Each structure stands twice: as structure tokens, then as C-alpha cells.
């Protein structure tokens, strides 16, 4: 006798409110239940239909029969000596991504991933040496924020204050899901976080930066720059060959004209590569074309590359040159290096 195949249940978090209302009407339920279900999913972060206690047992059974919730689950966790927490998260199809809770004196920041792996192959980033398996959907990005927020409350009794899309993957190559996730995170019907506390970091996809401007987004934008001339940037970031500095400059100016949001320029100062005063001058020339600030980021070594941090005195001269030109400069010290949780170190190395 041939086995009867169980129909695949639809992911309820990919179901639009109107579709959910139509389903509820078709099974004799009141359409207003859709709003209650949406509230459980996005405001209360329910991972199971059984959590939806203001719905009848019958309604919950119907939902279980026709829909699935595919929550992201914490698979592994490491705590750094500096209290940074790196988590390996398991997706419903078995893929893994990493996310990080970064506690400092002034903020609790969640660093989340937007793709399984990455396709951009930046030479200094561990994720860039992985293949891109797939994009995350909006709910999978949202779930990372919820799980990291729970860690902040559990371990440090401090609520999450900031979110950075700086984990695995290029957010602007997963544009729709990233923006949908931010909508759920910032909406009063969701987690109700301020978009001004969210930063999306890109390696530089000019046409998508322009689209952010057209969509008049409220969150912050950071550009991983790391070199301010095309020849050097091509060497470490192949994406620059199709998204030149000139194209990026035009896109950033367009973005700023549409949103009024200043840009954060991220710059790792590598020894004997991009750490001279001439490099600093090129950086100033590029960044002065659109309002923003420069975050100088410490390089975090990875086994796949042989870059080295610049020396302290060269870093100081580099930063001072920019400051003398009126540039706002922050020198960011990395956290979580001892557990490979720092910027550029995220990669799935171990599943057991």
C-alpha cells in the first residue's frame, strides 16, 4: 500500500494578514483572530501555537494542522572573557548561522546574520571564505534578535539597546527580508525598537544603497570601506570592481539627500597596506563628500588570511590626521576575540 504524503504546512510567518483572515473565515473562525495571532508571532515572539493562550484549543489545533512556526534555535553558545556571547543558531532546515551579544558600559548590542555564508569573498573576513547557501527570511533574522535579547536579560539583566546587521552575509543582497525584519523589530505591533538604534552594514552595493534612499529608511547605514582608492579596495574587496568608489560616492550622496541620515564609514587599518598618511588623506577626500563619521576597527586575525594590525603609533597618526581635518573618528576595540566572535571572525567551524 502506498504511503500517504503529509502535505507541507505553510510557514505562518510568511503568511500575509489578509491571507490569514481569509483562512480563518474559510474554517468558520472570526477574522479578528488574525490580529491576535500576528500579535503572538511578532510582539510576544511565540515559538509555538500552544503559547497562544487567548485562542481556543480548537483554533490552535486548526492552526497546527495547516501552518508551521519555524523558530530559530540556539544550538551552541560561548562566553568570552570580556562577557561577549557568541551563539550558533540552528535554522529549521539544519543550516547554521552565528550571532553575537556585545555588552559594553553604555549599550547592549545584538549582531545578527542575514545570510547563510556570503558570496562577496572579502579577503579579511572569515565568512567571505564560506559559500553562500541561502538568504535568511525576515522571521529568521527577527528570531536572532529575540534570542540575543533574552540572553542580555538572562546574563546581564540589561535590555537590548542596539542591533547591527554585521554578522554573516551581505544584508543588501537580501534586501526584502532585511527590511521586513526591521519592520517587525521597529513596529509598535512588533518589538517596538527605535530604527535609530539599528545599523545595517554593507560592503557597498551601489544600486541597493540608492534603493534604501528611495525607500527613505530610518535606520543607520554603515559602509565597510577599508580602502579609499579603487586599486587597493579591489585587492581586498572584489565587490569594488563592479561597485567602484565613484559609484558608491554617488549612491551615498543620493541616500543622504533622500533620508538625511549620516553615514558611518568602517575602516580597518592594516599594517603596510592602508595605514599611511596618504591613505588617511584619500579616506578624508572620500568621506568629506557625504556627512558622516569614521569608525576605525581593529583587525581580528583569521586563519585564511595573513593581514596584520597596524602599529599603535601609525594608528594614532592616521586618526589624528583625520581629526585635524574635522572628521569625527572613533577607534573601536574588538570584543570576543578569544571565542572568534569579533568583527570578521564569524564562520561555522564546528557543529558538534
In order of 47, 84, 112, 217, 320, the CA distances from 290 in angstroms are: 43, 33, 27, 17, 20
118 in catalytic set: no
Catalytic residue among 111, 122, 125, 343: 343
**Neighbour tally for 81: CB within 10 Å:** 10
Identify the residue whose cell numbers are 483572515. 21
- In the chain, DSSP finds a helix count (H) and a strand count (E) of 10, 14
282, 294 Cβ separation under 8 angstroms: no
Identify the residue whose cell numbers are 483572530. 33
CA dihedral 139, 142, 147, 149 (to 10 degrees): -160
d(CA 77, CA 98) in angstroms, rounded, equals: 10
Gyration radius of the chain's alpha carbons: 22
Segment (H or E) for 268: strand 263-268
CA dihedral 74, 342, 102, 188 (to 10 degrees): -70
Identify the residue whose cell numbers are 544584508. 171
C-alpha cell at 165: 546587521
End-to-end CA gap in the chain: 39
In order of 191, 310, 351, the CA distances from 186 in angstroms are: 6, 38, 32
In order of 79, 147, 268, 315, 341, the CA distances from 82 in angstroms are: 8, 20, 21, 23, 11
98 in catalytic set: yes
60, 50 Cβ separation under 8 angstroms: yes
Which residue(s) pair with 104 in the sheet? none
Catalytic residue among 98, 140, 266, 298: 98
- By the 10 Å C-beta count (0-12 exposed, 13-18 middle, 19+ buried), 297 is classed as buried
Active site residues: 98, 343
Amino acid at each position: 500500500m502506498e504511503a500517504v504524503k503529509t502535505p507541507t504546512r505553510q510557514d505562518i510567518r510568511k503568511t500575509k494578514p489578509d491571507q490569514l483572515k481569509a483562512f480563518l473565515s474559510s474554517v468558520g473562525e472570526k477574522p479578528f483572530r488574525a490580529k491576535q495571532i500576528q500579535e503572538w508571532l511578532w510582539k510576544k515572539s511565540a515559538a509555538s501555537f500552544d503559547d497562544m493562550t487567548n485562542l481556543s484549543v480548537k483554533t490552535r489545533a486548526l492552526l497546527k494542522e495547516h501552518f508551521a512556526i519555524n523558530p530559530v534555535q540556539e544550538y551552541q553558545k560561548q562566553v568570552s572573557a570580556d562577557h561577549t556571547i557568541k551563539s550558533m543558531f540552528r535554522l529549521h532546515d539544519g543550516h547554521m548561522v552565528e550571532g553575537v551579544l556585545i555588552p559594553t558600559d553604555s549599550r547592549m548590542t545584538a549582531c545578527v546574520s542575514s545570510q547563510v555564508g556570503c558570496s562577496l569573498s572579502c579577503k579579511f573576513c572569515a565568512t567571505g571564505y564560506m559559500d553562500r547557501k541561502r538568504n535568511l527570511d525576515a522571521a529568521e533574522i527577527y528570531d536572532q534578535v529575540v534570542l540575543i535579547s533574552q540572553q542580555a536579560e538572562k546574563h546581564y539583566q540589561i535590555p537590548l539597546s542596539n542591533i547591527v546587521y554585521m554578522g554573516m552575509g551581505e544584508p543588501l543582497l537580501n534586501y526584502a527580508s532585511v527590511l521586513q525584519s526591521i519592520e517587525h523589530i521597529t513596529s509598535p505591533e512588533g518589538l517596538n525598537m527605535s530604527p535609530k538604534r539599528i545599523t545595517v552594514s554593507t560592503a557597498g552595493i551601489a544600486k541597493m544603497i540608492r534603493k534604501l534612499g528611495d525607500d527613505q529608511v530610518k535606520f543607520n547605514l554603515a559602509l565597510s570601506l577599508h580602502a579609499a582608492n579603487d586599486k587597493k579596495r579591489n585587492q581586498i574587496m572584489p565587490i569594488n570592481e563592479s561597485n567602484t568608489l565613484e559609484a558608491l560616492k554617488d549612491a551615498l550622496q543620493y541616500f543622504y539627500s533622500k533620508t538625511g541620515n549620516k553615514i558611518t564609514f568602517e575602516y580597518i587599518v592594516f599594517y603596510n597596506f592602508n595605514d599611511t598618511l596618504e591613505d588617511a588623506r584619500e579616506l578624508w577626500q572620500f568621506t568629506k563628500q557625504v556627512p558622516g563619521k569614521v569608525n576605525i576597527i581593529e583587525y581580528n586575525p583569521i586563519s585564511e588570511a595573513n593581514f596584520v594590525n597596524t602599529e599603535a603609533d601609525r594608528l594614532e597618526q592616521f586618526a589624528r590626521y583625520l581629526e585635524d581635518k574635522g572628521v569625527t573618528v572613533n577607534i573601536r576595540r574588538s570584543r570576543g576575540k578569544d571565542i572568534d566572535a569579533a568583527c570578521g571572525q564569524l564562520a561555522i567551524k564546528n557543529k558538534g
